[in-house]
Structure 1
Amino acid sequence: MTNDAATVPLRGPIAPPATIGMLGGGQLGKYALMAANAMGYRTLVLDPDPSAPSGVVANDHLVAAYDDPASLRRLTIDCDVITTEFENPPAAALATLAGSTQVAPRPSSVGIAQDRVAEKEFLLDNGFPVGRHVVLDDAIPIADDVLDEVADGGAIVKTARLGYDGKGQRRVTGRAEALAAWAELGGVVCVVEELLDLRCEVSVLVARTSDGRVDTWPVAENVHVDGILDVSIVPARIDPVLADRAVGLAMALADALDYVGVLAVEMFVVGDESGADTILVNEIAPRPHNSGHWTLDVSVTSQFEQQIRAVCGLGLGDSSMTAPAAAMVNVLGDMWFDEPSDIAVEPDWAVVLDEPAATLHLYGKTEPRRARKMGHITVSAPTPDLAARKALALRTAAAH
């Protein structure tokens, strides 16, 4: 984990026409850079993919590896502040940049989010509620009965690093299956998480500046399919007391991390020993998040503009919703294919665009692939239920 004492202190405000650097060229970076450009900033993105979505909107696109010395040097010379759109940039690259230039979020925050073991330890050390789990690590012997307690009723084995959207995960029952899954995942350090009495999944997006100003959006209710976010519904259809608890936990977590930028805190609503609903923290993402894409169309300030405001030390924008409810459905590459054909056919986007309450976002990725996030659809409506039904129906109608 990076030592923030060796980094350039974060100071603001950084106003236009300053230059903002971005590690990562995906859709999250694209929307953040679009917000930055609209505000008058120059932008520079580092991504090895010449067709990266962010490269289309950045003033300059450095097509190179994330640890390429010449490109890192260019970032430190040209940029007033550097941020990231994903949680797995090389730690050494972040440390190099932060030693010469303002980097937000801080490398230490990103380092915690990169490693499930460090993340769990941080949450527990700071008093945040988490589910029961155990670490599988060749360097740390574990008693069979401890693994039995976690895995016997069902568990998920997750790699400590580099897993996302359901990758690097196996569902198991019992110690033997857990150990077999660990071996199948290459024997790397893993976390075994006990299956919970899950009522629903929610997330809170919180924005925080270096001087401690904080703002949040309404809690999102999330449904995943095969480990990939399928739909987000806002506001979440949970008890208002639980929603307030979730927001409070997210704000406290941002403070504990001394976080700068937009942070996504994913949580579980579960049944406790008495059967009542309670909140557990699942994981964090040190960046804007898929479950916040609805803010592009149904919030006064999007999560992407807020990211720019926060990392530049500016005042945070109004995070109020502009409609009573919204739903966002992901558009995966599967929509281009009819089973069992491998021939890609463009979905009928006119169906979506004919709906006044819907907004279509396509990310500009050149090749549709199954399970690849290609875009999303957002629908506003008078109620969360109606927003979700309309969004799902539009996606179905557009698919072949």
Structure 2
Amino acid sequence: MSTALGIVGGGQLARMTALDAARLGVDVRVLAGPSDEGVRGVFEVVDGDHDDLAALRRLAEQVDVVTFDHELVPLDVVRALEADGVVVRPGSPALAFADKVHQRRAFLAAGLPLPAFDVVADLPGVEAFAATHGWPVVLKAPHGGYDGRGVAIAGSPAEARDMVEASAGRGVLVEAHLDLQAELAVLVVTSADGSRVVYDPVRSVQVDGMCREVHAVAGHLPPILAAEAGDLGREVADLVGAVGVLAIELFVVAAPDGTQRLVVNEIAPRPHNSGHHTIDGCATSQFENHARAVLGWPLGPVTPRATASVMVNVVGTAGDPRDRVHLVDPAVKIHLYDKSPRPGRKIGHVTAVGTDHDETAAAARRAAAVLEGEQP
């Protein structure tokens, strides 16, 4: 009898996970809402919203394990599935960390390196925090923010007002604004069978709060920093208890003695944009390993396939990138998500691999630019 995997959410993460799972002979079902794009027409879809318990139960009846392509399913819904006896991975304790306030408080209690933070309910609270830590400050909605949404950098009370008022007294996470030297990410994958793999740390490049590029380059980080990133990733994974991929975003900042130190930014208990390069750049992709992990299978090796792998996201423009695929250097690997293009929306990514970092990065950037409408 074949193994069946259910994925909640029908976006690009579900698409890429399902593609790798199907290649392993896994029967895939995806719960997708009316606006979800990426899996329809490729995999069997169970229609329903991610917060609809009845729809999730319909999915669960057809599969052996339920997993997610986002962390937006309400915790009470996840707990209801678990009470039904459904195998849900990651489970509700790990998904609780999607609440950034819970995440920050738990990390602080564990002694993890964090930016200074507080939870405030009004503008005077932001001003009091800024009086101690200085302007600008970083404001974050506790739930649902991604790709720059739900995050604001405020240099004054006037700039903070809109986000505080939008919270309607529910609270906003306010953090000290750090002088960043770089942003890193490390992916830790833990299988239900207890095995674990850790991908090499990568450097990410953010534009307007959205991950634009990911660079996985041998020796690009000082060995001490790379080891610290891996150790932090394992420590966070142990604390969170996630089964599957756990992405840990890290800030590199200057320590008082002039050395570099790492600060934990945020986590995501699912496949992550910072791991897209692994499809073409590693022996086993994050998507295959996520499927393996939640099914309780042994994990694949994560050895890099090349000295340098560079991933660049393709962001929507007015045109259709499928009309320009033939113009892209065929050495660069194209991954389109079958999502309607619109400005600011990630509709695909490209990955280049090679021996020279600068040449590899240039090839990936050229390919993304062509798909976004620039002349080759």
Q: Which TM bucket (shorter chain)?
A: over 0.9
Following superposition, the deviation at residue 76 of structure 1 comes to: 3.0
Following superposition, the deviation at residue 144 of structure 1 comes to: 5.3
2:324 aligns to what? 348
2:173 aligns to what? 191
Following superposition, the deviation at residue 148 of structure 1 comes to: 1.7
Cα-Cα RMSD: 2.2
Q: Which amino acid aligns with 1:48?
A: G
Q: Is the counterpart of residue 92 in structure 1 residue 76 in structure 2?
A: yes
Per-residue Cα deviation, 1:101-142 (whole angstroms, up to 9, x for no partner): 1110111111112x111110111111210111221136x995
2:194 aligns to what? 212
Structure-1 separation of matches of 2:341 and 2:301: 35
Structure-2 separation of matches of 1:68 and 1:143: 35
Alignment of 1:278-293 (within 5 A): 278-293=261-276
Q: Identity of paired residues, percent?
A: 34
Alignment of 1:327-342 (within 5 A): 327-334=310-317, 336=318
1:110 aligns to what? 95
TM-score (norm 2): 0.92
Q: Which amino acid aligns with 2:5?
A: I
2:121 aligns to what? 137
Name the SS for the 1:62 alignment partner: strand
Q: Which amino acid aligns with 2:144?
A: L
Following superposition, the deviation at residue 176 of structure 1 comes to: 5.5
Per-residue Cα deviation, 1:20-47 (whole angstroms, up to 9, x for no partner): 1111010101111111111111111111
Q: Is the counterpart of residue 362 in structure 1 residue 336 in structure 2?
A: yes
Q: Which amino acid aligns with 1:36?
A: A
Q: 1:389 aligns with which of 348, 362, 374?
A: 362
**Change in CA separation of 1:69 and 1:158 when aligned onto 2, cut-off 3 Å:** closer
Name the SS for the 1:57 alignment partner: coil
Following superposition, the deviation at residue 397 of structure 1 comes to: 3.8
2:285 aligns to what? 302
Structure-2 separation of matches of 1:360 and 1:313: 30
Structure 1 unmatched ranges of 5 or more: 1-15, 338-343
**Change in CA separation of 1:51 and 1:211 when aligned onto 2, cut-off 3 Å:** closer
| Contact residue 333 and residue 350 of structure 2 kept, 8 A | yes
Following superposition, the deviation at residue 206 of structure 1 comes to: 0.7
Per-residue Cα deviation, 1:169-209 (whole angstroms, up to 9, x for no partner): 22112456434541255544211121112000010011012
1:44 aligns to what? 29
Structure-1 separation of matches of 2:57 and 2:154: 46
1:323 aligns to what? 306
1:247 aligns to what? 230
Structure-1 separation of matches of 2:213 and 2:127: 38
Name the SS for the 1:388 alignment partner: helix
Structure-2 separation of matches of 1:51 and 1:147: 39
Per-residue Cα deviation, 1:341-388 (whole angstroms, up to 9, x for no partner): xxx686622232x332x10111011x2111111000100011333221
TM-score (norm 1): 0.87
Structure-2 separation of matches of 1:107 and 1:347: 42
Per-residue Cα deviation, 1:268-327 (whole angstroms, up to 9, x for no partner): 001112222110000000100011111111111100000011111111101111111100
2:109 aligns to what? 125
| Contact residue 193 and residue 298 of structure 2 kept, 8 A | no
**Change in CA separation of 1:95 and 1:197 when aligned onto 2, cut-off 3 Å:** same
Structure 2 unmatched ranges of 5 or more: none
Q: Which amino acid aligns with 2:248?
A: V
